[in-house]
Structure 1
Amino acid sequence: MQSNMKQILFQKAKELERWMTQQSETEEAIPVKENIDTILDHIQNRSNVRDLSLSLIEASRKAGISYIVYPKKKKTKWKKRLKLSKLSNVSTSHGILPGQKKYLLRVPLYERKFQCPSLPSCLNFDEFVQSKGGIPENTNPRTWALDMFSKHKHQKTTTHKRVKISIHNDTSERMKEPPKLELSDSLKSGLSPEVTKYYESEVEILTKEINDKKKYPAFAYCRRGAIYRKLGKLQSALKDLQEAILLEPLFLNAYWHRHFIYLFQDKINEALDDLNYVNKYNKNNAEAYLSKAEIFRGRKDITLAILNYTQAIKCKPTDADIYFRRGEMYEIANKVLAIDDFSKCIFYDPKRTDALLKRGMFYYENENWISAIQDFTALLNIDPQNSQARTYRGRAYFKRQFYKQATQDLSVAIHLDPNNWLALYYRACLFRKSSPFRALQDYSVSALINDGYENLGCFLHRGILYADLKLWLLAICDFETVISLERTVILAYVNIGLIHLLYLDNYVEAIWHFSEAIRLDPLYIQSYICRAETYHKLHKLKKAVRELSRAIHLQPDGIQLYIIRGQYLLMMKCYDLAKFTIYQVADMNKGLIELSPIQQALIYSFCENHDKAIQVLDRITLNRPELTMYTLLAKAQMKAKKIKEAMRMFKKALDIFSHSDKGPNAIAASADCLYNLGLCYMEEGNIQMAFDCFTKAVKANPDFAEGFYQRGLCKVKLNKDSSVLDFNRAITLNPKHYQAYLSRVAFYGLKGRYSKAILNCNEAIKIYPQSVRAYIYRGVLKYYNKTYKLAITDLTTAINMDKNSYIAFYNRALCYTKISELRMALTDYGIVLLLDAGETVMLNTFINRGLIYVELEQYTFALEDFKQAALISKTNVSLCQATAMCHHRNKEFEEAVDFFTWALKIDPCFLDAYVGRGNSYMEYGHDEATKQAQKDFLKVLRINPTYTKARISLGYNLQAQGKFQKAWNHFTVAIEVDPKCYLAYEGRAVVSLQMGDNFAAIQDINAAIKINTTAEFLTNRGVIHEFMGQQQNAMKDYQAAISLNPTYSLAYFNAGNIYFHHRQFSQASDYFSKALKFDPENECAAMNRAIANTILKKYKEAKEDFAYVVESCPFWAAVYFNRAHFYCCLKQYELAEGDLSRALSLKPDDALIYNRRAEVRGRIGLIEEAVADYIQALDLQEYAPVM
């Protein structure tokens, strides 16, 4: 089966190569047209009118085109034209393009149906019934007639007719459809010449056998079809296999071979039909199941693929490859089942190295070191050169503290793969104490190979090694590298501070680094102690005491901290405070003699004086080595976070139990010991050992609900699906165990079963109505269940119970966002930022609130949020991009350029940043910035030539430089890359309009509107219609744009201009008012409204508009000219003369303004000045044609 699939893939690849080569050759249009004309002439000579339509289709197919070309229509002389009154039907066509005539839409002569001459003028149905033998009894005549005619009706295959109309000779090249591989007999088979010769001889024998017809030919057809398929003659193969199936419908081999041909053609459904047919009559055909599984695997249908692999395994239970393939499918969803399949694969084929590697990796990831080592060892016995297996076995040996074997494996791994930075790192860790310089060499090579975040530990350990070797500056460099990779590594800050403090005497730098460590983790006591020592070195004892007080507050039982603080207080001569501190130390060391030792220990433990409690209990165990005493001592050590000592005590208690009487109390105590030992293992991170302890505990005490609950948690961490069974058992034993309900909530939530998880939340809330966590869980689950209002109710309840629950506020803000209550979401996000939320939550809060501000078009607020987010995550290019976009929206283009540049420093291959920076440069408005923008766009296209955003921006850049043809070319390339890119069509339409090609512009804007109908595109089409002189169509487009987006001001403005030109001044004024309503900064609309109001004699409104425009645009000559006309209407000629003079100062070569000022001056009696203006106007008019 695998060889057949490989052969099909080989043939398909060769056919695709041939198709691509054929498509790359350019086809000349003229020879094709001549060929078509020749074929049409030949058809006209040998065909009559009735068969001409079918012949045209045949001719088009021969010419290799998918549309019909009709022959030139002969001119006929009409004696008399028909009158319009005699026409019965009148059709109105919409959207006729220029150059397309309406008579082309009529039915051609060749398609018209003619009545057959042999058909009688009157049809006699009774005679027809008698000629057919009559209508049977109990039969409807209508049904009988339909059945009679349907018998002779030919079956037609439905084909989608594609009509392509050539509108313009210069239209762009049609986009090619994805290849549909056709069957042929000329495919390359990839067989050797000997095998090919043998197969051809077999074909000859089978052909002879078929032609002789001595045997039943079905088998021969099937065998010949299979051989044809191997030879690459797929068309002949399909024909033979179809013939075999026709002769013998149950011949399953024919279906099997035919499905490979369907796979070659990408006819997946037909291939599946054949395979299903094979499985229908042969349930044990493993190859068919396997082929179906591979098909579903290619479709990413994991469930069906697994089902078919399972059926194949039932047929071939010892086939290792099938187990491996099913394991790969299980690996996506359930790794436990995948490991089972890999194990079976290894069982049936012990030399499957890929299965051994996968299973070993699974054991390694789950810290099952022994099994992992066994699998990697088995793999290396087969493939000793496998560097990856060597590395992981070395790491497993390292985890088991088998350092010699680990060193050997890691060294071999490095020898096999010198670029294995991980092996170098672990080998350096092994050499760090025994051979520091060898370790230093390995650390350096590892860091040289990989200096990224994954290898952060290498820099940290090398810094520590440099510090051990007293190479302080090199150590500081490595620790600073760690900080640059991850700013939250406190150990790096502390180590740098210690080096400055102890060896370099640079106390200021030391304080700064200790302060950064405290800022990152305010609970890290060592930072306070080190900063206190630094202040002591600087003789700032008051600050040193303050730091130690903070450390004591964090660790009240730290006796050494009290002693150091007492020393500092003595240096400050604060004797009373120093004495009080010493008394505190004495009280901590002095026991309460009036209480029993056990009581003393319990009191010390309750007061969190764990060390004293441990001392007391330790003395008790020396006198009473009992199970209960060791258990108490171990619990005290657990509270003191002395996990290893506690584990040792629990094991000692269990050892005592094994040698004592097994009474009920002892069994209960042993179950308690096992339970607490399991908790210790969980604290240590050894989940598997914890799981074993909890299992023993519940075996010892089957009614131990808490044991089942903790074992369920272990199963969750071990990725075992049966964890919910333990939660169920815990609830059965203790129906009030609300934590088990909440754990079950988490389990069902991870599985996506939100409704069932919500039911468990309800039960938890019934048990413990004050549980804030339960309400938050239920609110989050309802959010995922898309019942946002109910989620808000639960989260509000949680907030009322705990006003400081930033998680509840954050999730409620998400719900408000989903229901578009953006103002409420902003309020909740603001509260989250006021609370002490974690860094991750604050980062997400800033980002989400910024996105809401962007949606509300409040870009200033969004900008501040994105800036804060960028300060938290300084290496996030998306935040830099968002910040830059907000600056751009606020028309702060220089700041936008700075942030785009910052993003590019973080990621030099971030293409959107180049495009954004280029667009910001474009807004500068001078040539140098335009060229700089062009460089950015070109750099993006050099990195990714198919990036349409950059190409479109480059097109607009070239348009701004007046290079219209180059801009047009780039827009065309963008369209060829992405035929659905409406922005490219819009850009090309604009450029075509500027180049004077109105027809091409209207084509492109129509294409953009078909892809994405927006008010902007409709308005642009209206503008193009105006350039073409079609103002009626332009008005339709403007009205359509207004209907689509009633707030789009430009559509109102352009429509108002059309009304103005048609002297409909009242409507024009209304439309200009609406344009100003939605865009108050549109000075053109304000001036046009002022002119319209002047004509309508609304002088007060006109005066206000003119005043606003003059204030906004004081250097615009047109506004002064129009206001002068307004003053003339009011007969205020002096003011008019002043505005006209101002207009001439701004535009001194305008003859019209001189002429108008001459008229005004004539009216106010300035005859000489008026004559001078007339003369100047005449001179300018005479000079204009010369220019």
Structure 2
Amino acid sequence: MYQYLNSRVSVILIMALLIHFVSSGQMVSERFRAQIDPTKYPVIKFEWSLPGNIQVIMNEGLTNIDVEKYDQAVINFTQVLKEKPDFWPALYYRGVAYRIAGDHEKAKADFIACVLKENALVAGHYLLAETYYQLHALSEAEATYRKVIKMESSHALALYGLANVNLARYDFSDAERYYEKSTAVDPAFAQGYIMQGVLKIRSNGKKNTAALQLLDRGLAIDSLISEGLFWRGMIYLDRRDYVRCLRDWNNLVRAHPNDPYYLIFRSFLHIELKDFDRAFNDIKKAVLMHKLDVNAYKASETALDKQIELQNAAAYVARFSYGLNEHALISFKKGFCYFVAGNSAQSNYFLKLAENTEPSATIFYMRAVNYDHSSKHDSAHIYYDKALALDNEIIDAHKKRAIYRYQLGDWKGAYADLDQMLRLEPSMHVTYRIRGYIRAHQKDYVEAINDLTTFLKVDSVDADAWKTRGYCRGEINDVAGKLADYRQSLRLNPSDEPILNELAEQYAATSDTTNLISFHNEFKDTYSNSPAFKYLLIDYFINAKSWKRASLEVEKNRLLESEEGKDDTNRKRVFSILARYNGLIELGQQHYDQAVKNFTLALTIYEFNHEARFLRGKTYLAMGDRKQAIEDFQFLTGVYYPEAAAMLKEARKRPKK
């Protein structure tokens, strides 16, 4: 969420760039697009043709929707449907309750069932279309919105929904056209004007008159539409009209006091206006409001790592910064705000002023984090030391210093900091992850496995932790454990090709056919184009000297290759590989003539199959054909093929026939 701004450009320029992204068709975030409020839904009229006791339950369900007890409403409508399965209003309102609660799949099912029973219900079709849109089923959403419009041509919300579908497809022309249609059929439809205005925004503020007029028109109808307030503020900001921008964003924050995004944007404006007290308060609130899981920390300087560090720093600052004297606090707030805005030089300047006024753990810690995030790690280490000398309870400072000490080879110091982390927060299981990595690096594999096992009991979706534990298990000859951990790591991170290749190699060399087949079946769809995986079973059966099964797998792969386009380079390479495998199968059975024929076929299909040439050379050598073997190995030596030079030397030692 918190992307640091480049220190060489102003906050205002970044805001202007955001407008540029919109004008060029790159909507930067789903949250700043057209928003759907699921709590707004059409109220339908229906006949209460129910027994008295069922009518009471139906009425309770409607009341529970009104008082936001959606789970209880679902129970009520389910009871009604149990007694009256064909009572479509209960289906409709249960769908409404599911949709507001965020269970869109169940809402979809209810709306479909509802319109099947009452096809003329426009509201049912409309909410079904909205639900499809929220499920990102855009084709279904479009078809259903069009059905609603066919049933009721002046349905502004359906026209607006169709515009949203086109916007989601980046078809800005059609999106704008349908937003215009929505206000044409309903001149009081505020949201339609707002989205027309957003789509007319241009990067040059002077060209935004039309956009501003449309936003003004929409906000005159409904003054609290968040998209309107946000984007009108952006236009004012681009024009350097800070007073009006601040007015809109103040209204935006008042309307959405718990939205950290709006607080962050307003804080950047406060920084530009040099109102550091308000900027400081906005940033502090926003960061603490948007809670991140501290155990997701990877110690890899990722964007998420930096966000977690910012969150931890903000939490500490919120508790202790007001203990500073007045002059130090003024400089500290400026330094903190510039740090969040990404201006590390200005941040460092003001934090240094604060330090000179009143040295404290808070200032030292913030200077350390600022140095850390600007990659000045030696200085960061020094200031973490200073901060902890004054306050040994800063858990994040211990964490960062442990990593620095580990990188410097100070194992004892690193372990001491990790012990402090466990003392301060025993449930902070990321400590075990970091300590497990350090122990793995020290080749203390058993203890590393113990730490990573503790971590994985709490966080079982960390692919890297599974991989590291798998490596440690392999180092103590626990091959089965290694394969199991690597396999779990691959499930969580399917793009880890080195792990895929190692697993394929290990399984091909194993004698455990059951696990091999299980591994192949589990991942065959995901890695159908990976050579290491594609030919895994062939390699396995060749290693096991199961020649018939190996041949069957070769034939199976050949049949899977389509005849169409087989002359292109990639197709040639595939058929060449399969011919090489056939040669390898014949070579394993000492059918040398057949092996040579297959290796030659592989080279005829694709002349750069150097492995086939190498195997043919070895086959010639086994047959006693010194001359042909030398020719193959000489060629391969020229292309620096591994082992070719050694085999050429071996061939030349053989006596001539």
Calculate the TM-score normalised by the size of structure 2: 0.48
More relative contact order in 1 or in 2 (CA 8 Å, sep 6+)?
2
